[in-house]
């Protein structure tokens, strides 16, 4: 299993960098009402 996922520079307000699984969960919870951000996070997880 991949331990961290890289997020490139983006227009969704998510800082560029590597994120651990618990950080991804926090991002999803913080942005649960923003479908475009959730979709971006899901794309990065693929």
Token pair for 46: 């693929």
Token pair for 24: 């991804």
What is the pTM (predicted TM-score) of this model?
0.87
pLDDT tens, residue order, the chain (46 aa) = 678 999 999 999 999 999 999 999 999 999 999 999 999 999 999 8
CA 14 centroid distance within chain: 7
For 1-46, list the strands marked E by DSSP: 4-7, 17-20
Encode pLDDT of 24-36 as tens digits.
Answer: 999 999 999 999 9
- Give me the numbers of helices (H) and strands (E) for the chain, helices first please: 2, 2
- Give the model's pLDDT for residue 6: 95
Distance CA 44, CA 36 (A): 12
- Give the model's pLDDT for residue 46: 87
């Amino acid at each position: 299993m991949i331990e961290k996922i890289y997020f490139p520079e983006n227009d969704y307000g998510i800082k560029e960098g590597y994120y651990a699984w618990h950080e991804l969960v926090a991002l999803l919870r913080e942005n649960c009402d923003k479908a475009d951000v959730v979709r971006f996070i899901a794309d990065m997880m693929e």
